[in-house]
Amino acid sequence: MQACWELLIDTLFYNGKGRIHWLASSRGWIQDLGTGKPPKHLLAKKKINLEGHEIFPGWIDSHVHLYLLGSKKYELDVGFCSSQDELLEILKGEVTPKTSGLEVCGWKGSELSLFLLDQVSSCIPIIVRRVDEHAVWVNTCLLKKANILKKYPTGFLADKAMKHLEPFRPKVSPHEIEAALMEAEIQLLSDGITSVHDMATELLPLKTLITLMQQKKMNLRVSCALYGKEACNAFPKPQVNLFNHHLNIRAKKIFIDGALGSRGAWLSSPYEDSPGHCGTPLSTEKELVSTIRKALQNQFQLIFHVLGDQASIFVLEILNTYFSPKEVRDRRFRFEHLEVCHPKVLPLMKKFGIIASVQPWHIVSDRPWLEKRLGKKRMNTVGIFDKMKKKGIPLCGGSDTPIEPHDPRLVKKFVHFYTVGGAYAEFSEDTKGTLEIGKLADFSVRSKEKTEMTVVGGEVVYAR
């Protein structure tokens, strides 16, 4: 005689299609799942009909800028401008007698001149941020206020140089930071993204993020890569699985070079369109050795921004000279971007267990001008993700939103990067990345190209 038994669960999601037709969750975790009809012994407090749509693991976007993404809603984005004349017209239209300063973002066009921005105003500071957020153009008024006119006579500042402008930029209130973070979450959840790796998290946004999670206002799971002395000093040791696996603070972001668009990416030979210039190194050997030693002592993961080929060579030579693979591998160091990467570095990357964190959309958006910047011969070192995979190097994928679109369905070829790869990159492969019994009930429900529903911890946090 067969025994009769029942299992009480929180929620039963049923009537799906594909590999998983139904899923049972309790207390935020997957209790059971399968195909066909749900077993009769499952007694659910709540049932949700998936109406024949497919269930997928929650996307993990391994490279986002949360605050920047949300703040875009409240900024003037000039990414749509097709010419400098159009940009000039828009900037002039924003200036009124009451305007004390003007800052815009998203410029994708050619280099701007001091003369052009001075036409907008000679009395108030003007800042135009490049789309990659690695460079700005400013007017003479601001250069004079910052006392840097002689040092930067063209009005172009990239990477570390932009720090000169901080005292002259608008101060952001805690309320504005909260609004930006909440807006970013809405956008991400609506695309089925349930976890993100927030790059270069500074102290004020992090404090706000913690407050939102304490108040249970944030559903998105976030792993932060600390940036800046204030943030790093505030968190001298990693803190993980906070707020029921919603927040990890175990990584630090280190910039080794800049971006290709502003010619700040560090290349092993000069830019094709800028003879004699190889980019800008942003760290010295001495600084990096010290940073790595402290990170290993305190058990932090380091995430290196290495966009040009020489940047990754530089880091790997330091690791190979001063550190052993055994002490580095367990910390799962990451190379972020690797847009230009020479295949010769792949054996060393594998030796030290380096994760390649890539953003496929950069290759697409940069393609119109990439060959002009790098030269034809060097194009075979761009986006060598397949070679990395064949060498056994772990990969994870990210959007770099808001620099690029954050909808991961646009990169179908790289689904593994956005699930299993993303989970491994944040030390969460036991709880995320796949839909299995005992893992977090984080998933999306989709019909063709649309996200119908996003579920985090068994709770519906977005429904179309």
CA atoms 236, 240, 242, 246: torsion sign: positive
Question: Reduced to 3 states, what is the DSSP secondary structure of residue 310?
Answer: helix
For 398-411, write each residue's pLDDT tens digit.
999 999 999 877 77
Q: What stretches in the chain show pLDDT beneath 50?
A: 1-3
Q: Is 155 exposed, middle or buried (0-12, 13-18, 19+ CB in 10 A)?
A: buried
Helices 285-297 and 309-322, interaxial angle, to 10°? Answer: 60
Q: How far apart are CA 271 and CA 278, in angstroms?
A: 6
Q: Is 59 left (phi over 0), alpha (psi -120 to 50) or beta?
A: beta
For 70-102, write each residue's pLDDT tens digit.
999 889 999 899 899 999 999 999 999 889 999
Residue 410 confidence (pLDDT)? 75
Cα distances (Å, whole numbers) of residue 143 to 115, 117, 148, 162: 13, 12, 5, 11
Return the closest-CA partner of residue 67 out of 169, 167, 219, 188.
188
Alpha helices in 56-202 (DSSP H): 66-71, 84-94, 114-120, 140-145, 174-189
Return the closest-CA partner of residue 197 out of 222, 171, 168, 172.
222
What domains sit in the chain, N to C, each tagged with a CATH number?
1-58+434-464 (2.30.40.10), 60-67+174-433 (3.20.20.140), 71-168 (3.10.310.70)
Q: What is the three-state SS of 26-73?
A: ECCEEEEEECCCCCCCEEEEEEEECCCCEEEECEEEEEECHHHHHHHH
Residue 448 confidence (pLDDT)? 82
Q: What would the two tokens of residue 258 be?
A: 């800049």
Residue 164 confidence (pLDDT)? 95
Helix-then-strand count for the chain, H and E: 15, 22
Q: What would the two tokens of residue 143 be?
A: 């250069």
Q: Structure pTM?
A: 0.94
Residue 4 confidence (pLDDT)? 60
Q: Read off φ and ψ for residue 146, nearest 5 degrees.
A: -85, -5
Residue 109 confidence (pLDDT)? 86
Residue 1 confidence (pLDDT)? 36
Q: How far apart are CA 202 and CA 160, in angstroms?
A: 15
